[in-house]
Structure 1
C-alpha cells in the first residue's frame, strides 16, 4: 500500500530572492490560474483594497470585502474569486526569513501554525485593532515600492509588528469548527487526487476510481473532497476539463469537436451544454471573444 505523505505532494514553488524573500504587489481581479485550487510553499497575506469576492480555503468559503485581511498558510488548499471590482494587496514571504526572530519570539508565526485552532484565515473585520493592521501593511508596501535606503530592514520590522499584533490581539481560543477541521493527512490525500485528475483530465474517471487512489470508500472520499475543495469530485473534474478547453480554443486550428474529445468529453453536445452552463457562453462564442 502506498503511503501518502505531505512531502510527496508537489506544491507551487514561489521563487523569491534569497536576501529579500518576499513578493509585494497589487492584483486587479483574479487570474484564471488562481481560480483553480492550488497551494504553495510560502506564507501569504492579503489586504482587500477595494471590491468584493470570496476565497475557498480547505473547503470553507470566506466572503471578503474592502478592508478585510486574510492569511493563507503554506499548506492551505485555496482558490479565489472576484465578484466586483477587486483590488488586492498580496504579500508572500518565506517563513525562513524570520528564523532569527523566532529565537527571540517563538510565537511570531503562531497565526499560521495554529490556523484553524486559535486563528482564522479571515481576520475579524470588527476588531478594534484591524485598522492598525491595515496601516502596517500599507506602510510596508510603500517602503517596498519606494526602495529607499534600509527599506528592507523597515519592511522586515513592519512584517514582524503585523504578525506580533495578530498573535497578541486576534487569538481566538478553540476557533469555531476546529473539531471538524480536515486533517493534514486528509488534505494530502485530496491534493494527490487533484494532481492525478489534472494530469489525466481526459480519462473517464469514476468516483470509485478516484476514491481508490487514496484507499477510501467512494462515499467517504466524496465527503472529504467536498469539504476540502468546496464541490464534489466529478464536478471539479468538469471544471478542470473546461479550463483546458478554454486554452485550446485560443488555437483556431483545432476543431471544437477535437477539443471536446481531447478534454475528455464523450460527445460534442455534452461539451457544448456544460461549457454554456459553467462558462456562460458557447465554445464558438468564447472562441470569437478570444479572437
Structure 2
C-alpha cells in the first residue's frame, strides 16, 4: 500500500516523535499525502531534490529545513546518496500543543527555513541524527535524544506556532481530490481513463486536470504515472518477478512503455536499477 493520500502514523517509540534518517539510496519519490503530524525535514547534506507543499515548490539545500503543518498535502522528489541526506522528524501535534487552551486553532508555519537563523537547532539535530542511526542505543544516548526532542519542540512552539488568526491560509483538500487519489492508488494496475473520472464528477477533462493540479501540484495523468512508477520500483527491489510482469501489473500496458517511463524518471533501465540495488 502506498502513501498517496492520508497517512496513519505510529508513534510507539522511546521518543515522543519519529526519526527517519532515510537509508534508501537513489531516486526516492514520496507521493502527495498528508498526516496528523508536524513534519520537520532537515537537509543534513547536499541538494537532494525538491519538496512540494500545497502547490509551492522548494529546493532542498544543505543546512536548511522544511517545516510542514499537520494535514497539509505535500510530496518530495529526491535523489539520496552519501552526498545527499535528509533527516525526517514527525512530531504529533496533539503532543506539541497538549495543555494549550482547547478553544484555539493552532497551526505551525510551513515552508523552507535556514538553519543559520536558528543556531540552537544545530546541536539538537546532530543528536537526533546520531540517535536515529543507532540500532541498540545505550541509556545515556536515549536520554540525550529525549532531551533534544523536548528542546526541539520548545523552539518550534516558540518560533513557529500560530493561532488561527495569524496562520497562513491552508488549502483544505476537497473530497473529490481525495477520492480521485484513492481511486488511482487502488486501481493503478488497470487501464484508467482520466476523462471518465472527470465525467463522474461532471467536469470536463481539461478543467478536472487543472483543478486536480491546483491541489496536488501535478496533473492526474502524471500523478497516476508516479503511482505506477513507485509500484514498479518496489517490485523491482522486493520481488523476483520478471520485468515484463512488473510492467503489466504496474499498469504500463507494455514492457516498452514501462522501459521509456522508468528510464525517463530514474535515469536507468529497470534491469539496471534492479542490478544496482542488489549490489548495495
- 1:74 corresponds to which of 70, 74, 90: 70
Q: Does 1:94 align with 2:92?
A: yes
Deviation at 1:226, TM superposition (A): 2.0
- Equivalent residue, structure 1, for 2:235: 248
Q: Which consecutive residues of structure 2, in runs of 5 or more, have no partner in the other structure?
A: none
SS at 2:160 equivalent: helix
Residue equivalent to 2:36: 41
Establish whether residue 110 from structure 1 lines up as the match of residue 107 from structure 2: yes
1:147 corresponds, among 142, 145, 150, to: 142
Q: Secondary structure at the match of 2:157?
A: helix
Change (3 A) 1:29 1:273: closer
Unmatched segments (≥5 aa) in structure 1: 1-8, 112-118
With over 3 angstroms needed to count, the CA separation of the structure-2 counterparts of 1:167 and 1:137, relative to structure 1, is farther
Q: State how far apart, in whole Å, the 1-side matches of 2:152 and 2:271 are.
A: 50
1:164 corresponds to which residue?
Answer: 158
CA RMSD of aligned residues (A): 3.7
Cα distance in structure 1, aligned partners of 2:158 and 2:211: 34
Aligned residues between the structures: 261
Question: What CA deviation, in whole Å up to 9, does each residue of 1:192-239 have, x standing for no partner?
Answer: 212211110022222222324555332222112223333221122122
Q: Assess if the C-alpha contact under 8 Å between 1:22 and 1:94 holds in 2.
A: yes
- CA deviation string 1:118-173 (max 9, x = no partner): x43213x39x7433444555567789972338x757743541233212348xxxx7
SS at match of 2:46: strand
* Correspondence 1:130 to 2:127: no
2:8 maps to 1:13: yes
Compare the two structures and name the one with the higher helix fraction: 1
Structure 2 length as normaliser, TM-score? 0.74
2:52 to 38, 49, 56: 56
TM-score for the superposition, normalised by structure 1: 0.72
Residue 176 (structure 2) aligns with: 189
From 12, 21, 26, the counterpart of 2:21: 26
Contact residue 16 and residue 23 of structure 1 kept, 8 A: yes
Contact 1:140 1:158 in 2 (8 A): no
Distance across 2 between alignment mates of 1:152 and 1:29: 25
Q: CA separation in 2, counterparts of 1:154 and 1:83?
A: 28
- Determine the C-alpha separation between the residues in 1 that align with 2:218 and 2:189: 19
Contact 2:45–2:86 under 8 Å retained in 1: yes
User: Deviation of residue 79 (structure 1)?
Assistant: 2.1
Secondary structure class of the residue paired with 1:122: strand
Work out the CA distance in 2 between the residues paired with 1:143 and 1:285. 34
Report how far residue 63 of structure 1 moved.
0.6
Q: Does the 8 Å contact 1:226/1:232 carry over to 2?
A: yes
